[in-house]
Amino acid sequence: MKIKLKPIIILALGMAALSFSFIQTWQHYDLEIPRIWTTKALKDWELPNANPAFTVEPVSEEFYYALPERVIYKTYPVYHPDYEPEGYWEWLHEQDAQIVFDPAQLKTEADWIKAGELLFDYPIDTLGAVISAKHVRSKEFYTASGMPITPDGIMPFVQWVVAGKGKVYLGNLSCAMCHTRVMPDGSTIKGAQGNWSGDKAFAYGLESNGASEGDVQAITRFLFSSPWAAGDPHGKLLASGKEEIIAAYKAVPEGAFGRQGTSILYPPQAPNLIGVKDRKYLDHGGLSQHRSIEDMMRYIAMNQSLDFLNFYGDYNPIGLTKQELNNGKPIIFPGTYDRHSEAQLLAIAKYVYSLTPPENPNKPSALSEKGKIIFAEQGCVTCHTPPLFTNNKLTPADGFAIPDAHYSKYNIFDISVGTDPGYTMNTRRGTGYYKVPSLLGLWYRGPFLHDASLAKLEDLFDSARLKDDYVPTGFKPHNVKTKAVPGHEFGIDLTKADKGALIAYLLTL
Ligand code: HEC
Ligand code: HEC
Q: Does 417 sit in the ligand 2 pocket, CB within 6 Å?
A: yes
Q: What is the number of the ligand 1 atom nearest to the C-alpha of 256?
A: 12
- Asked whether 72 and 100 are in contact (CB, 8 A), the reply is yes
How close is the Cα of 40 to the center of ligand 1, in Å?
24
pLDDT for the residue numbered 329: 66
Domains and CATH numbers, the chain: 68-178 (no CATH), 366-392+436-506 (1.10.760)
Q: Does 279 sit in the ligand 2 pocket, CB within 6 Å?
A: no
How close is the Cα of 175 to the center of ligand 1, in Å?
7
Whole-number Å distance between alpha carbons of 441 and 91? 40
pLDDT for the residue numbered 185: 86
Whole-number Å distance between alpha carbons of 359 and 509? 11
Mean pLDDT per 10-residue segment, the chain (509 residues): 33 33 45 90 95 94 90 94 95 95 92 95 83 89 85 90 93 90 88 92 87 93 95 96 96 95 97 97 98 97 91 92 79 76 96 96 97 97 97 97 96 97 97 98 97 97 97 96 97 97 98
CA-nearest of 179, 347, 406 to 272 is 179
Q: SS3 string of 130-167?
A: CCCHHHHCCHHHHHHHCCCCCCCCEEEEEEEEECCCCC
Angle 77-118-169 from CA coordinates, rounded to 5° = 45
Strand (E) or helix (H) holding 499 = helix 496-506
- Asked whether 282 and 299 are in contact (CB, 8 A), the reply is yes
Q: Hey, which residues does 75 pair with through a beta bridge?
A: 161
Q: What is the number of the ligand 2 atom nearest to the C-alpha of 379?
A: 5
How close is the Cα of 385 to the center of ligand 1, in Å?
24
Q: Does 261 sit in the ligand 1 pocket, CB within 6 Å?
A: no
How close is the Cα of 454 to the center of ligand 1, in Å?
20
- DSSP-assigned letter for residue 270: P
- Asked whether 369 and 406 are in contact (CB, 8 A), the reply is no
User: Does the CA dihedral 478-482-484-485 come out positive or negative?
Assistant: positive
Whole-number Å distance between alpha carbons of 376 and 505? 11
Q: Does 490 sit in the ligand 2 pocket, CB within 6 Å?
A: yes
pLDDT for the residue numbered 205: 85
Buried b (16+ CB within 10 A) or exposed e, 347-366: bbbbbbbbbebeeeeeeeee
Q: Does 173 sit in the ligand 1 pocket, CB within 6 Å?
A: yes
Q: What is the number of the ligand 1 atom nearest to the C-alpha of 260?
A: 1
Q: What is the number of the ligand 1 atom nearest to the C-alpha of 352?
A: 35
pLDDT for the residue numbered 334: 66
CA 460 to chain centre: 23
Buried b (16+ CB within 10 A) or exposed e, 252-287: bbbbbbbbbbbbbbbbbbbbbbbbbeebbbbbbbbb
Q: What is the number of the ligand 1 atom nearest to the C-alpha of 259?
A: 12
Q: Which ligand is nearest to the CA of 438?
A: 2
User: Which of 490, 494, 503 is the best mutation target for the ligand 2 pocket, counting ligand atoms within 8 Å of the beta carbon and taking the most?
Assistant: 490
CA-nearest of 192, 185, 193 to 151 is 185
Q: Does 177 sit in the ligand 1 pocket, CB within 6 Å?
A: yes
How close is the Cα of 389 to the center of ligand 1, in Å?
20
Q: Does 382 sit in the ligand 2 pocket, CB within 6 Å?
A: yes
Q: What is the number of the ligand 2 atom nearest to the C-alpha of 395?
A: 12
Q: Does 211 sit in the ligand 2 pocket, CB within 6 Å?
A: no
* Angle formed by the axes of helices 198-208 and 242-250, nearest 10°: 150
Whole-number Å distance between alpha carbons of 236 and 245? 10
